[in-house]
């Protein structure tokens, strides 16, 4: 019993640090994008096009990696994913610090994205399976809250160190984490089905069985507004500042930092609320409602630089149900496909930034920046509401079961 409890605590801590490294890398690239491209000889006119290429390669890697690591997590075990993904990420990031041209940079962003994609899903799956139904919400809350703070560290490292050193630091953090992971062992739930002759990690089954597909797609849609906030409202914060008539220049770096501090705060609040209210579903609906309120305030009641940054923080708080969102996805499915779902869902939500930004750019041909964001924001929130309503409550659910063929 004591060893089981010790393993659960170790898994929570190591999963939190794994997610910390995940967020560190995602934000670090945004911070060092311009300085790294300029050092490789890219001129101002080509910064955006090359930056988009590298970002898309990273996101493509996360989508591909989400599927690969998710399936492996159900076929080979959760621990194998934690080891394999961090090794791949660490090596890719160290090599990122050595790139000499754009093709090398793009290829390594793809590999780093593939590596990172397994971190959160495998960690949350393990935490959900080793903790009791009544306490696992606290475990996933700790993972998300500590992990989000990787953005703050990335901002500081990106400011104080050369971009190549910043990548070396990320790779070094991954290698240190690899050593810590030797101390943890597989969840009992997965161990009990590992050698059974049943279907495990069948990704296509999520699209060929109606009841699984509905649960899966709804689990994805409830998280899309979070990345609308990050991918549109925060990423393009300097442009929105001009649109709102704010005379002082808005710093994208500061907007990102305040938003991620808000996300960490929101994850702590939503995780605690879900435990106290004994409901994932109610908390998700409450935070989606807050997203709607703060999106409207951001777009229509912005008059000063200070208020702008305050609203970036509040938008982050409203989007801080990431921990509950991923926990909900994990709790919706059986042990033989749980890692596949828990790993692919957050990566598909991140990948949703691509169609969301494309729609945002398309609408700008017909309406202003503000109203383009309003239309997309309302669409993502409405879909998230409907998805949340259609999902079953999972708080306290016994996860020791399989999805039968």
Q: CA 301 to CA 58: how far, in whole Å? A: 34
Of residues 76 and 385, more confidence is placed in 385
pLDDT tier at 62, thresholds 50, 70, 90: confident
Q: CA 100 to CA 351: how far, in whole Å? A: 28
Could you tell me what percent of the chain has a pLDDT over 90? Answer: 35
pLDDT tier at 4, thresholds 50, 70, 90: low
Q: CA 111 to CA 67: how far, in whole Å? A: 14
CB 388 within 8 A of CB 274: no
pLDDT given for residue 300 in this prediction = 92
Question: Mean of the pLDDT values across residues 70-87?
Answer: 86
Question: Mean of the pLDDT values across residues 25-47?
Answer: 82
Delimit the domains of the chain by residue range.
1-185, 202-335+352-394
Residue 369 has pLDDT above 70, yes or no: yes
Lowest mean pLDDT: which of 68-72, 116-120, 226-230? 116-120
CATH fold of 1-185: Growth Hormone; Chain: A; (1.20.1250)
pLDDT given for residue 313 in this prediction = 96
Give me the helices (H) in 117-209, please.
119-130, 136-148, 150-160, 163-180, 188-193, 205-208
CB 158 within 8 A of CB 32: yes
**Other Cβ atoms closer than 10 A to 396:** 14
pLDDT tier at 149, thresholds 50, 70, 90: confident
Lowest mean pLDDT: which of 34-48, 263-277, 367-381? 34-48
Lowest mean pLDDT: which of 167-171, 280-284, 366-370? 366-370
Question: Mean of the pLDDT values across residues 24-43?
Answer: 84
pLDDT given for residue 359 in this prediction = 87
Residue 335 belongs to what H/E stretch? none
pLDDT given for residue 52 in this prediction = 73
Residue 182 has pLDDT above 80, yes or no: no
What does the angle CA 57 – CA 62 – CA 66 come to, to the nearest 5 degrees? 150
Q: CA 334 to CA 48: how far, in whole Å? A: 43
pLDDT given for residue 3 in this prediction = 55
Q: CA 194 to CA 183: how far, in whole Å? A: 21
Among residues 397, 348, 322, which one has the least CA distance to residue 123? Answer: 322
Residue 1 has pLDDT above 70, yes or no: no
Burial of 133 per CB tally in 10 Å (0-12, 13-18, 19+):
middle
CB 144 within 8 A of CB 77: no
Question: Mean of the pLDDT values across residues 115-135?
Answer: 85
pLDDT given for residue 58 in this prediction = 85
- pLDDT digits over 239-255, tens only? 888 888 888 888 877 88
Residue 320 has pLDDT above 80, yes or no: yes
Quote the DSSP letter at residue 392. Answer: P
Is 202-335+352-394 CATH 1.20.1250.20?
A: yes
- pLDDT digits over 262-314, tens only? 998 999 999 999 999 999 999 999 999 999 999 999 999 877 899 999 999 99
Average pLDDT over the chain, rounded to an integer: 87
Residue 119 has pLDDT above 70, yes or no: yes
What does the angle CA 275 – CA 277 – CA 283 come to, to the nearest 5 degrees? 90
- Residue 76 contacts by C-beta under 8 Å, 6 or more apart in sequence? none
Residue 323 has pLDDT above 80, yes or no: yes
């Amino acid at each position: 019993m004591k060893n089981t409890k010790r393993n659960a605590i170790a898994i929570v801590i190591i999963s939190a640090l794994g997610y910390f490294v995940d967020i560190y890398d995602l934000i670090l690239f945004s911070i060092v994008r311009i300085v790294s491209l300029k050092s490789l000889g890219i001129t101002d006119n080509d910064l955006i096009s090359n930056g988009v290429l590298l970002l898309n390669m990273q996101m493509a890697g996360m989508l591909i990696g989400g599927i690969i690591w998710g399936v492996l997590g159900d076929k080979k075990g959760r621990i194998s994913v934690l080891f394999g993904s961090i090794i791949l990420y660490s090596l890719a990031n160290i090599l990122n610090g050595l790139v000499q041209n754009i093709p090398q940079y793009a290829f390594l962003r793809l590999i780093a994205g593939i590596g990172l994609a397994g971190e959160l899903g495998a960690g949350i799956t393990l935490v959900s399976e080793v903790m009791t139904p009544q306490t696992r919400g606290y475990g996933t809350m700790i993972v998300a809250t500590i992990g989000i703070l990787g953005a703050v560290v990335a901002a500081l490292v990106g400011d104080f160190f050369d971009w190549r050193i910043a990548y070396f630091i990320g790779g070094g953090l991954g290698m240190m984490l690899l050593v810590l992971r030797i101390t943890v062992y597989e969840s009992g739930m997965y161990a009990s089905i590992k050698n059974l002759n049943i279907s495990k990690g069948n990704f296509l089954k999520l699209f060929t069985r109606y009841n699984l597909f509905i649960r899966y797609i709804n689990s994805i849609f409830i998280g899309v507004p979070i990345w609308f906030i990050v991918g549109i409202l925060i990423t393009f914060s300097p442009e929105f500042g001009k649109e709102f008539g704010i005379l002082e220049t808005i710093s994208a770096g500061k907007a990102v930092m305040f938003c991620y501090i808000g996300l960490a705060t929101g994850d702590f609040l939503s995780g605690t609320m879900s435990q106290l209210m004994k409901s994932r579903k109610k908390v998700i609906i409450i935070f989606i409602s807050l997203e709607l309120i703060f999106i409207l305030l951001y777009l229509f009641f912005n008059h000063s630089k200070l208020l702008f940054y305050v609203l970036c923080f509040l938008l982050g708080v409203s989007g801080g149900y990431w921990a509950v969102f991923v926990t909900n996805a994990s709790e919706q499915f059986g042990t033989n496909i749980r890692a596949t779902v828990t790993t692919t869902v957050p990566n598909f939500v991140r990948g949703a930034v691509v169609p969301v930004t494309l729609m945002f750019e398309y609408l700008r041909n017909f309406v202003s920046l503000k109203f383009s964001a309003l239309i997309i924001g309302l669409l993502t929130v409405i879909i998230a509401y409907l998805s949340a309503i259609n999902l079953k409550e999972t708080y306290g659910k016994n996860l020791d079961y399989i999805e039968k063929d």
